[in-house]
Amino acid sequence: MKKNSLGVLALLFVTIAWGASFVAMKPAMEKIPVFDFLAVRFTIAALLMIAVKPKVLKAFTGKTLIYGIVLGVILGFSYVTQTIGLKLSTAAITSFITGLYVILTPLLIWAIFKKKPKSIVALGAILATVGLGFITIKDASFDFGQIWILLCALGFAAHIVGLSRWSPGKDVYALTVIQLTTVAVVCWIGALPDGYQAPVDGEVWFAVLFTAVFATALAFFIQTWAQSIMDASRVAIILTMEVVFAALTSVAVGQEVLSLQTIFGGTLMLAAMLLIEWPRKDSQPEDLVYEPMPH
C-alpha cells in the first residue's frame, strides 16, 4: 500500500476517534469545567507517550523543540477559543464554524506560500463546507460571540499548515509529545486560576481516558505522521469526516435521530473526500494540490 493511501486510512481512523470522543465528552462536560478536562486529557496523553518511549525526551532539541512548542501554542489557542465560543454559542454553530478550517487551510497556504489551490481541491473544500452546514446547522443563528469560533477555525487551519510545513524530516514522535505537552501547559494556565476540579466519577474518567489515549495521543501522532507525507489541504478535507462519524456515533448511542438532512450532508462530505482522493491517470496525488500563483 502506498504511503499516501495509508495516510488517508490513518486519518480516517483519527476522524472516527474524534467523532466518538465528542459523544463520550458530551455528558462528562456537564460535570467538569472544560479547562480542567482538557488539562488532564492532554497531560495524560503526553505522559502516556513518554512512558511508552522514554528515549523521546532526548529528541527535545533544536528545530523539533521549537516547532513543537509553536505548533502546541497554536493548538492550545485553538482549543481555548473554541471553548470560549462554545460558551457563547450553540454546539451546532460551534461545530460548523470550527469546520471552516477546510476552507481556511488552502486560503492560508495561498496567502503565506503564494501557492494557489487547484480547482479540484477548491471544489472539494466547498463541497465539504456545504455538507458540514447540512449536518450541523439546525435552527441556529449567528451572533458576535462566534468570532471566537472563527479564530478557533483559523487556529486549526494554521496548525494543519504548520504541521505540513515542519513535520517532514523531523522526529514525528517527539514533535507530537512536545505539542501535547505545550497544549497541557496552556490548558493548566486556564484551569488553575479558579481552582482545579478533578473528574468526579467513572463516566468523566472514561471520557478523559478515552480522549487522552485515542483522540489525543494516538490521533495527533497519526496526524503529525500523515502530514509529513501529505498535503495540508487534502488533510483538512479528510479531517472534516470527524463530523460525519460524530453524527453516526450520536445516532448509534441514541443521542440523536438520523435525519435526511444529516444523510445528505454526510454524503456531500464523503463526496468531497472521494473527489480529491480518487486515483487519476494523468496526475500523481501530490500534483493535484497546487498550481503556481500568477504574478
User: With 50 as the cut, is the pLDDT of residue 284 above it?
Assistant: no
Q: Return the pLDDT at 277.
A: 64
Answer whether residue 280 shows pLDDT above 60.
no
Asked whether the predicted pLDDT for residue 127 surpasses 70, the reply is yes
Alpha-carbon dihedral angle through residues 231, 233, 234, 237, given to the nearest 10 degrees: 150
Overall size of the chain counted in residues: 295
Nearest to 19 by CA among 253, 197, 202: 253
Residue 293 grid coordinates: 500563483
Domain that includes residue 194, residue range? 3-292
Q: What integer pLDDT is reported at residue 57 of this predicted model?
A: 95
pLDDT band at 241 (very low <50, low <70, confident <90, very high): confident
Q: What is the mean pLDDT of residues 102-130?
A: 85
The mean of the pLDDT values for the chain is 83
pLDDT at residue number 19: 81
Quick one: cell of 290?
497546487
Per-residue pLDDT band at 285 (split at 50, 70, 90): very low
Comparing CA positions, the residue from 223, 231, 236, 246 lying closest to residue 289 is 231
Of the two residues 290 and 275, the one the predictor is more confident about is 275
Residues 6+ apart with CB under 8 A from 99: 128, 129, 132, 136, 153, 240, 243
Closest-CA residue to 19 (of 168, 136, 146, 148):
136
For range 131-144, the mean pLDDT = 68
Q: Report the Cα–Cα distance between both ends of the chain, in Å, rounded.
A: 39
> Residue 116 forms beta bridges with which residues?
291
What pLDDT band is residue 154 in, cutting at 50, 70 and 90? very high
- Where helices occur in the chain by DSSP H, the ranges are 3-28, 34-52, 62-88, 91-98, 101-113, 119-136, 147-166, 172-191, 202-212, 219-226, 232-239, 241-252, 260-277
pLDDT at 133: 79
Give the pLDDT score at 113. 86
Confidence of residue 294 (pLDDT cuts 50, 70, 90): very low
Q: What is the pLDDT of residue 291?
A: 34
pLDDT band for position 295 (cuts 50, 70, 90): very low
Q: What is the count of structural domains for the chain?
A: 1
Cα separation of 139 and 203, whole Å?
A: 30
User: How high is the pLDDT of residue 56?
Assistant: 96
Mean pLDDT on 76-95 = 77
Alpha-carbon distance 255 to 67, whole Å? 39
Whether 123 shows a pLDDT value over 90: the answer reads no
* Res 222: pLDDT: 94
Q: Which residues contact 82 (CB under 8 A, 6 or more apart)?
A: 94, 98, 148, 149, 152
Instruction: Please state which of the ranges 3-7, 238-242, 276-280 shows the lowest mean pLDDT.
Output: 276-280
Higher pLDDT, 82 or 280: 82
